[in-house]
Structure 1
Amino acid sequence: MSIYKQILGDQFYRLQPMLQKRYTLPDGKPFKATGTMNKISGGPKWLLPLFLLGTRWKFLFPEQGENIPFSIVNSSRIGANGENQVHWERIFQFPKKKRYFNALMSLDFNEGVVKDYLGEPSLFYSELAFFVSKEGHMRIESRKQRFVIGSIEIPLSKIFQGILQVNEYYIEERDVFSIHVVITNPLIGNLFEYEGEFRADDF
């Protein structure tokens, strides 16, 4: 059973059927898709050095634009500690650069959250809460966050966090998944946002 079915419980079956299929992730069969991000935007220019540094860890990036080719691969695996994990590889193909926004997720069933380690190696940790909207959309929101330095994890107060909101749904008429990701900060405002569509390669 995928970590997403476990965390959502009975809610999982209220997802749109194609979202259920996408998040089931049977063993040995990754979810692969390609598409286009209609819009990618970021925060203020003074954050440019931080976003450039993030590219070294396949985390955040400074490029912005419209109609950017996109691909995603979600792969299930067993971690060194024996827990079920899902690796997320998200690639944004800008005209002169290929940028990544990668993560490794696992389940903390006792806390009712998905553990999300962002970057390779991990640079940032966020607890994620998963919900199903009344329309059958997948909704994701961030909770506690930590800055990661090797084996050390430093808790971040709310004022320093990147607050995540995700809405993903399926458009039957066009046979595409639609995604909208927004990361904001209480002081700075918008930090990172992308919105677009993708189509599964082998559904």
Structure 2
Amino acid sequence: MSSIFRTVMGESFDRLHPQLRRRFSVGLDSGQACVGHGVMDRIWHGNGLTAPLLKPFLALGGIRNILVPRTGRRIPFTIENVPYADSFGRETVTFVRTFDFPGGRRRFDATMIADPRGDRVLDYLGTHQHLASDLHLSAEPDGSLLIRSGEHRFREGPVDVRVPELVGGDAEVRESYDDTAGRFRIRVRVTNRRFGPLFGYEGSFTAEYRDVRSCGVRAGLRPVREEIRA
């Protein structure tokens, strides 16, 4: 069975920890979805210099479920990885993270497809897929998965522009499996090449697998608008 992640990673996919291979095998071929439940030990924003500058961007992004506009510790969260065929016939996997902050929930939405170039994943962010990022996936020697972002693009109507490095961020995601704890561990860090750390989070979760062919895609999980431009 294949998935968009196995397709992009090729033989290196088999070097992942068995639990990571199962988790990233979710797709239309397997018929499985993966839902994780856990706790973010820490969600942070920038440093003393960048944090005030970030606030308006994070607040604006929060309206469309892009990024996480709040910080905190020991925040319960859920991540839903559900495959479906989008309105353009592309196999798509949701990466919808819901954070249960005191006083209300916040979501960070993403949907992923295999990039037409075949060597990367295309990550659409937000409810309207305004932002698109190239993701490069690799297996680390310890069996963990390393994801690094590449070019970022902004799309709205006729607008299709590359996000300048001055205001963009380089994302690094590390996901591993802790055999002793029986949990997945996740660490995300986004930095700007000029201003330094922007935001990130780290935590752990357990996962359950569901038959997507019988349970389907729940209401509200898919983006409001889908973007054809890769």
TM-score under structure 2 normalisation?
0.84
Q: Aligned to 2:13, what secondary structure does the other structure show?
A: helix
C-alpha distance in 2 between matches for 1:100 and 1:55 = 8
Q: Is the counterpart of residue 21 in structure 1 residue 28 in structure 2? A: no
Instruction: Give the superposed CA RMSD.
Output: 1.5
Alignment coverage as a number of residue pairs: 203
Q: Percent identity?
A: 33
Q: Distance in 1 between matches of 2:44 and 2:157?
A: 29
Partner AA of 1:40 in structure 2:
I
CA contact (8 A) 1:7 1:109 kept: no
Query: Superposed, which structure 2 residues align to 1:160-199 within 5 Å?
Result: 160-199=167-206
Task: Please give the TM-score of this superposition, normalised by the length of structure 1.
Answer: 0.95
Gaps of 5+ in 1: none
SS for the counterpart of 2:166 is helix
Which letter does structure 2 place at the counterpart of 1:65?
Answer: G
Of residues 152-161 and 110-119 in structure 1, the stretch that sits farther from structure 2 once superposed is 152-161
Amino acid at match of 2:4: I
Query: In 1, Cα distance between the equivalents of 2:129 and 2:12?
Result: 30
Q: Distance in 2 between matches of 1:157 and 1:53?
A: 18
1:36 equivalent to 2:18? Answer no
Please state whether the residue corresponding to 1:13 is helix, strand or coil. Answer: helix
- Report how far residue 187 of structure 1 moved: 2.1
Pair 1:83 & 2:90 matched: yes
Look up the SS of the partner of 1:169 in the other structure: strand
Letter in 2 for 1:33: G
Cα deviation, residue 109, structure 1: 4.6
Secondary structure of the 1:20 match is: helix
Equivalent residue of 1:11, what SS?
helix
C-alpha contact 1:131 1:138 (8 A) present in aligned 2: yes
Query: C-alpha displacement at 1:13, in angstroms?
Result: 0.7
What runs of 5+ residues in structure 2 fail to find an aligned partner?
Answer: 211-230
